[in-house]
Structure 1
Amino acid sequence: MKGIVLNRTLADKIALEEVILPDLKKDEVLVKIKAAALNHRDEWCRVGLYPNLKDGVVLGSDGSGIVESVGSEVDIEWKGKEVIINPALYWGPNQAVQSKEFEILGMPRNGTLAEFVIVPADRLFEKPSHLSFEQAAALPLAGLTAFRALVYQGEIKSGRKVLITGIGGGVAQFAFQFALAFGAEVYVSSSKPEKIHRAMEQGALGGYNYLEATWTENALAETGGFDLIIDGAAGSGLNDLVAVTKPGGRIVFYGATQGNPGKIEARRIFWNQLKVIGTTMGSDEDFRQMIAFVKDKKIVPVVDSVFSFEDAVKAFDRMRVGAQSGKIVLTP
């Protein structure tokens, strides 16, 4: 089969190459990929910013497709079904935190950017019928991360004021859609005015350009502060988020694309009794709840663009410069 593999000897660091499929184990399934989606994790692997990298590994965590064959201990009823894949492996029994064995599909084991992928059968979920393969492929990793951040860590409720930072990115876009579906009053931030404008067309009550020096003052004047903030950047901007969080509020962050903050406004955090919470991906229970929520609310993931596997470098480059609004999808 063909797959998009990490190859750090090349200028582009990735290539569409022939990959040998291993034998199917008794508890595994072979899925014919119809669509796969990119995450920042894939680009970090490409540029060497992810641990335990191995050349020749198929990248990609998100995928949807059709079950081609099943292992000897897998229910034969799965064969031929349209599915999406939970890319979180070995979370473990503790809902509060992942196990030491936790890993994500796509590194170090082969991922979804290939014609076929082999996964444990318990990673399969039936594809929501209202979604295309491309839309379904956009959902798993970013959708799971956003859902856990909002529900388990953020304890979102209807009527709460919620700020989603970095709107346009995959997790942020899902957090935005989910928060709206929960009945929250949703606001966004971005450095790109066009992304703020698009979010307001989709239901955001307001938006802020975090490059503007007065954005925190404007946000406080307009909203009185936020009950919950979902952030993937951290960095020096974390103190701005502390400044616009209501007393007793929560800041949940799922990434640190801007690195560590130079300093933390500790006094403001403890005096206002804020909760600053980290979150990563999600448990099997989070994934089940997320799929049920998507089906119930008929949520449709935002697909920014669709590329062929042959144009993978263009797709990765689009993610690298942050040009997307929604998920970038690839098809075999």
Structure 2
Amino acid sequence: MAESDVFVPKPSLPPPSGSVGVAGWMRANLFAGPFNTALTLVALWLLVSGLVPLFDWAVLRGHFSGGDAQACRSGGACWLFVGERFRFFIYGFYPAGQVWRVNIVLAVTAAAIGALAWPRTPGKRFLVPAAIVGVPALTLALMHGGVFGLPVVATDQWSGLTLTLVLSVVGIVMALPFGIVLALGRRSKMMAVRTLCILFIEVWRGVPLISVLFMASVMLPLFLPEGVQFSKVLRAMIGIVMFESAYMAEVVRGGLQAIPRGQFEAAAALGLGYWRTMGLVVLPQALKLVIPGIVNTFIALFKDTTLVLIIGLFDVLATVHATIVDPAWPAIAIEGYLFAALVFWVFCFGMSRYSQALERKLHTGHKRN
């Protein structure tokens, strides 16, 4: 065969310039046909018509420096108010000379959450129980005082963002294990256990959280022995944990029902008992499947902490609401509520993004290759 007859493949041609890069992405996602193009143009018009005036009010004409409300006279956003009341929004009525205790608690809590969330943190099997036990103990010792010579700060003075975070972290840490136990109890073969768990879940899910907080604040002291008293914060914690654990139980139960029967049979064939089967085989798979539902419940819990205002506790939203009626700062309600909205969005968005990262790591989507 002649040398000229040998087939020599030619090098591949580059893709058309309009199908790659930014232009290709825009053509595929924003301008793929007349209908998508029209929707894109309408969306852009709505964004521009809404964001441009907001940017002008909040940034271009906004006031970021000055001594008092007299500096906010141009019609722009008065961010001086947020700066002036920032300490009250974060610490509330906590004594000014003792806020260093709150700062230590917030720093330790953030460090513990970051260490648990970071995938390469060594010794997590020891860090998890240490964080679950140590962080609440440190929070109680520092914030309440009465030990190591620290003056006592009554829980009625816990308020602002500090109270919101305390209620949220305690609710999240306690609601998940309680929810798992209730979900397992609802699927139990023992009729008494199953009936009690079903009654608990249905009763707590059948009433609004406002009613739960009222009952925890007013009725709970009636069932306590004489001389035993719980603070409002502790009563609110108990009500929130009981309420959210009922919802968490149903989320976990959905994950348990999604596990194939073969997993139970395989564990039984290996000689595993009930608790080892649940702890080593079933629960890891079930919790992995319901990560979105668990995080959604956590986000709802974080936002529901604003309802503690009805029993006389001041969370971050309540502190904002209490300050916007100050006659020294007229017409600043929008700035205060925007600050509260930003605080809630940052924490909720952070939980959402972490859950998505955890889903990708654990392949909870079960996508086909």
Judge same fold: TM > 0.5, yes or no.
no
Q: Which has the higher strand share?
A: 1
TM-score when scaled to structure 2?
A: 0.22
**Which of 1 and 2 has greater Rg?**
2
